[in-house]
Amino acid sequence: MAHPKRRQSSTRRDKRRTHDKAPMPTLTVCSATGEAHLMHRAYWHEGKMYYKGKVVIDNSAPAEAAEA
């Protein structure tokens, strides 16, 4: 197996590592609720799950029916 002939300097090591960081997540604002959320992901807002500005799951309706 090959071995390095010289030790790599800390400057060269750090230059290589400059791009090894996690990117900031891309957020968008929903046109229906005004809520900031991750793009291409469903999200909960006030007991309802939204995706592409439409209600996908509504958990608030069964809770109101059970109270009555």
The tens place of each residue's pLDDT in the chain, 68 residues long, gives 788 899 999 999 999 999 989 888 999 999 889 999 999 999 999 999 999 989 999 987 665 566 65
Q: How many CB atoms lie within 10 A of CB 33?
A: 15
| pLDDT score recorded for residue 67 | 66
pTM, full prediction: 0.58
Give the dihedral sign, CA 31/34/38/42: negative
In the chain, where the domains are located: 25-67
Question: d(Cα 26, Cα 40) in Å, to the nearest integer?
Answer: 10
Q: So what's the pLDDT on residue 40?
A: 93
| pLDDT score, position 65 | 60
